Amino acid sequence: MYSEPLDDYFQLAGIEPGFQCNCTALWRGYVGEWEITQGRLYLLKLTGTLEDGSPASLETFFPGFPERVFAHWYCGQIRLPQGRQLEYVHMGWASTYEQDLLLDFEKGQLTQTRVRHNSAPINAPGDAPTDAGPQDEPTDSADPGSASFPREPKATDAP
């Protein structure tokens, strides 16, 4: 999952969670497990370690909600890369895959789904990288709450 919906919550709530970063493959210091049910985005699980060494969970940031939290704060796009990797980029989420499932949300509600078909960059010797460009394709579901996905839209927060 190439998105961080929980960071929007921390920013809106004025929370600086202070997660330990003990691995360069996980700079944010936590992993979240997400689910879309009936067109609504839910955070199911949160694991990490706080700077004081204590474990972090949903209960840490959402007292009284140990099993799942509706992500009412999230307005944005979640990108789920799919298929074979076409181009590897070492840092961040710049690697390109055959396609991306793009999920748009408004206040935690799924509003649109699209599949973007990507192509590998085309480079001639000595030329700057160019890209043939992605092509977006809307899904054929009239009701985004019951959209048919190429794969289960449950993903972890870690790429």
Could you read off the pLDDT of 61-108 as tens digits, one per residue?
Answer: 899 988 899 999 999 999 888 888 887 777 666 777 899 899 999 999
Whether residue 147 is found in the same domain as residue 88: yes
Q: Do 105 and 74 form a contact (C-beta atoms < 8 A)?
A: yes
Residue 157 in any domain: the answer is no
Whether residue 100 is found in the same domain as residue 47: no
10 Å Cβ neighbour count for 100? 22
Residue of 2 and 8 predicted with greater confidence = 8
Number of domains into which the chain is organized:
2
Range of the domain at 64: 5-70
Q: Do 117 and 137 form a contact (C-beta atoms < 8 A)?
A: yes
* Boundary residue ending a domain (70, 94, 125): 70
3-state SS of 60-125 is HHCCCCCCCEECCCCCEEEEEEEEEEEECCCCCCCCEEEEEEEEEEECCEEEEEEEEECCCCECCC
- Reported as a pLDDT band with limits 50, 70 and 90, residue 139 is low
Whether residue 97 is found in the same domain as residue 141: yes
pTM for the full model? 0.69
